[in-house]
């Protein structure tokens, strides 16, 4: 089906300004706008001769998504000969492999196949807090353009012995991690003769999701396409501060660089009721107020509601009832049940595990390709969890059991390495091998994106997705905002996490909280409602009785057809 571009999308396509910032909140047609932008550059001769356009994304899923939109607006020859779509780690790896020797580096160091630092923390038997400390130290130091010797010196100055040991091991084994790739790419592109090669090759650059950029990644992009880059994204979706992203700082730098700023304010995803609720958070998120592109097309205007519960167990029972009510009227719907953190969702997970008649997808379970799933299930059928945890090196124990070293293909090795790391996490949490095996899903992550049923996931995993219905659970102080968020900047990001969760909804949104929530140790904690449940937000929400009435009167056949 062909959809007519909006006036703002056409403006983005037709603008002759070389640098542009597109502010594009969730559901406003960002991918379409970027594809049209690329089309416009090509039609104006902006990438003549052998020059190409670089499109940089943050994930393979985003890369596939923009490719799909480009296929609509470009010929196959243009897509093949004129466009390079790549994620940031892939771009950094390409720079490293091609030009490492220019600054005296060995281009044959091992590229990361999985989360190498996390794996070394598991090998060392570090707990969650210790592992997080290691990751934080190494990530922070490597955000600067330092060589290996300088990195090690900075890490030693931090005094974290585990981080020091792991960084020394990395250098000894000639290994690069995901944090090292942009670091070495920036060092290489600091050489003018190398940067000029990329500037000559790429006539223009397009960056998807600018709010996820670290300052380091922005510096890399600027060495290739300063003044010739189109950035698109949304400050209200800037939720990756823990990876080094600095959305507000990056926004200011981009605004100073570009010649034109275009805002998309019409949502093609959500009902008026959902948008009213999301808009109520704008004072907290510093985002953009949205309007519904077709308000009359939503049955009953959609739904946004708020429900309080006595306990987390009661909340879980109620959520199951709501899911059954939805499926009774519209069996093909998708319901996202989202929590800020996975542990707060455990009551929901248990409640849905007791509903064999419902199709339930838990996004933090292992989604493995067929061969990896076969190897892991075979291993789990006979492995002794106690022996794994008692081994001097639990990772090597599992790898030997799964015959990891017989695999030659790098992609297959990476897939199995990630899967075994996931298995070790669950075994360490006391989950039996047979239960781990049951939680394996065969396919790839894309198999979850369009499946009907109930989807259980966390606040950060939901970014980039959409569901017919969203139920955000656990709107309590300590969960959302998370208890570690103490500064103004941290609270701003927590508000944005809530906004991202809410804005995934198409037809309806439900926010819930519980007055009492048991901790993992069994102690029951009294909980206060989240500070983000402001008077402005509550004014847009109906109550539990209103939900029942809405289900009774809504035009369900229309919903099922959408």
The model's pTM = 0.89
The answer to whether residue 160 sits within a structural domain is yes
List of long-range contacts for 535-539, beta carbons under 8 Å, 24+ apart: 536/280, 536/283, 537/277, 537/280, 537/281, 538/306, 539/280
Co-location of 508 and 376 in the same domain: no
Co-location of 280 and 344 in the same domain: yes
Residue 59 and residue 65: Cα distance in Å, rounded?
Answer: 10
Domain boundary among 220, 239, 264: 264
The answer to whether residue 152 sits within a structural domain is yes
Co-location of 350 and 415 in the same domain: no
The answer to whether residue 39 sits within a structural domain is yes
Co-location of 360 and 371 in the same domain: no
8 Å CB contact between 473 and 338: yes
Co-location of 452 and 545 in the same domain: yes
The DSSP output letter for 112 is P
The answer to whether residue 100 sits within a structural domain is no
Co-location of 460 and 357 in the same domain: yes
Q: What is the pLDDT of residue 36?
A: 97
Of residues 127, 139, 136, 58, the one with CA closest to residue 92: 58
Q: In CATH, what number is assigned to the domain containing residue 454?
A: 3.40.50.300
Co-location of 449 and 552 in the same domain: yes
Co-location of 408 and 506 in the same domain: no
Domain boundary among 213, 237, 264: 264
Co-location of 453 and 552 in the same domain: yes
The answer to whether residue 99 sits within a structural domain is no
Q: At what angle do helices 30-43 and 60-73 cross, to 10 degrees?
A: 50
Q: What is the pLDDT of residue 548?
A: 61
The answer to whether residue 107 sits within a structural domain is no
Co-location of 207 and 285 in the same domain: no
The answer to whether residue 180 sits within a structural domain is no
Q: Could you list the residue range(s) of the whole structural domain that residue 305 is in?
A: 272-364+445-561
The stretches of 20-59 forming alpha helices (DSSP H) are 30-43
Co-location of 357 and 470 in the same domain: yes
Number of folded domains that form the chain: 4
Q: What is the pLDDT of residue 562?
A: 37
Domain boundary among 197, 229, 264: 264
The answer to whether residue 382 sits within a structural domain is yes
Co-location of 71 and 121 in the same domain: no
Can you give the pLDDT of all 562 residues of the chain as single tens digits? 456 889 999 999 999 999 999 999 989 999 999 999 999 999 999 999 999 999 999 887 788 889 999 999 999 999 999 999 999 999 999 999 999 999 999 999 999 888 999 999 999 989 989 999 999 999 999 999 999 999 999 999 999 999 999 999 999 999 999 999 999 999 999 999 999 999 999 999 999 999 999 999 999 999 999 999 999 999 999 999 999 999 999 999 999 999 999 999 999 999 999 999 999 999 999 999 999 999 988 878 899 999 999 999 999 999 998 899 888 888 889 999 999 999 999 999 999 999 989 999 988 877 777 888 899 999 999 999 999 999 988 999 999 999 988 887 777 888 888 889 889 989 988 899 999 998 888 876 566 677 899 999 999 988 888 999 999 999 999 999 999 999 999 999 999 999 999 999 999 999 999 999 998 788 889 999 999 999 999 999 987 666 766 665 655 544 443 3
Q: What is the pLDDT of residue 555?
A: 52
């Amino acid at each position: 089906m062909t959809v007519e571009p909006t006036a703002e999308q056409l403006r983005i396509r037709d603008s002759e300004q070389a640098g542009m910032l597109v502010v594009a909140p969730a559901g406003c047609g960002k991918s379409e706008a970027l594809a049209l932008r690329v089309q416009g550059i090509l039609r104006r001769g902006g990438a003549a001769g052998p020059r190409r356009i670089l499109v940089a994304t943050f994930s393979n899923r985003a890369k596939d998504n923009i490719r799909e939109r480009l296929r609509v607006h470009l010929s196959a020859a243009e897509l093949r000969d004129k466009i390079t779509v790549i994620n940031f780690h892939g771009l950094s790896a390409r720079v490293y492999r091609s030009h490492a020797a220019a600054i005296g580096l060995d281009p044959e160091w091992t590229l990361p196949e999985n989360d190498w630092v996390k794996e070394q923390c598991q090998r060392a038997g570090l707990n969650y807090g210790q592992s997080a400390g290691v990751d934080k130290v190494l990530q922070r130091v490597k955000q600067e353009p330092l060589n290996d010797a300088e990195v090690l010196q900075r890490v030693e100055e931090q005094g974290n012995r585990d981080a020091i040991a792991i960084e020394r091991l990395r250098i000894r084994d000639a290994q690069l991690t995901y944090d090292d790739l942009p670091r070495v790419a920036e060092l290489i592109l600091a050489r003018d003769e190398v940067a000029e090669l990329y500037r000559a090759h790429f006539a223009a650059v397009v960056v998807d999701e600018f709010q996820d950029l670290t300052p380091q990644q922005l510096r890399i992009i600027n060495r290739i396409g300063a003044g010739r880059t189109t950035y698109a994204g949304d400050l209200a979706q800037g939720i990756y501060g823990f990876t080094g992203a600095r959305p507000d700082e990056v926004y200011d730098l981009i605004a100073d660089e570009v010649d034109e700023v275009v805002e998309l304010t019409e949502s093609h995803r959500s009902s008026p009721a959902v948008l009213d609720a999301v808009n109520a958070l704008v004072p907290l998120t510093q985002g953009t107020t949205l309007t519904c592109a077709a308000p009359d097309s939503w049955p009953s205007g959609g739904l946004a509601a708020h429900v309080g519960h006595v306990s987390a167990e009661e909340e879980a029972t109620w959520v199951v009832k709501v899911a059954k009510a939805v499926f009774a009227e519209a069996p093909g719907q998708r319901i996202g049940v989202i929590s800020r953190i996975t542990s707060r969702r455990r009551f929901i997970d248990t409640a849905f595990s007791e509903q064999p008649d419902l199709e339930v997808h838990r996004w933090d379970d292992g989604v493995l390709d067929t061969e990896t799933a076969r190897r892991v299930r075979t291993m789990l059928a006979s492995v002794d969890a106690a022996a794994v945890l008692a081994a001097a090196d639990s990772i090597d124990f599992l790898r030997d059991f799964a015959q990891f070293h017989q695999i030659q293909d790098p992609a297959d090795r990476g897939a199995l390495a990630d899967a075994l790391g996931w298995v070790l996490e669950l075994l360490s949490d006391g989950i039996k091998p047979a239960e781990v095996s049951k939680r394996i899903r065969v396919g790839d992550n894309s198999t979850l994106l369009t499946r009907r049923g109930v989807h259980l996931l966390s606040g950060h995993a939901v970014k980039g997705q959409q569901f017919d219905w969203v139920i955000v659970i656990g709107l309590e102080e300590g969960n959302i905002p998370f208890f570690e968020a103490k500064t103004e900047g941290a609270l701003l990001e927590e508000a944005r996490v809530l906004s991202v969760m809410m804005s995934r909804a198409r037809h309806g949104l439900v926010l819930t909280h519980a007055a009492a929530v048991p901790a993992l140790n069994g102690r029951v904690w009294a909980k206060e409602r989240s500070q983000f449940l402001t008077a402005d937000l509550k004014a847009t929400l109906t109550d539990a009785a209103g939900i029942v009435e809405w289900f009774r009167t809504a035009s369900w056949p229309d919903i099922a057809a959408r």
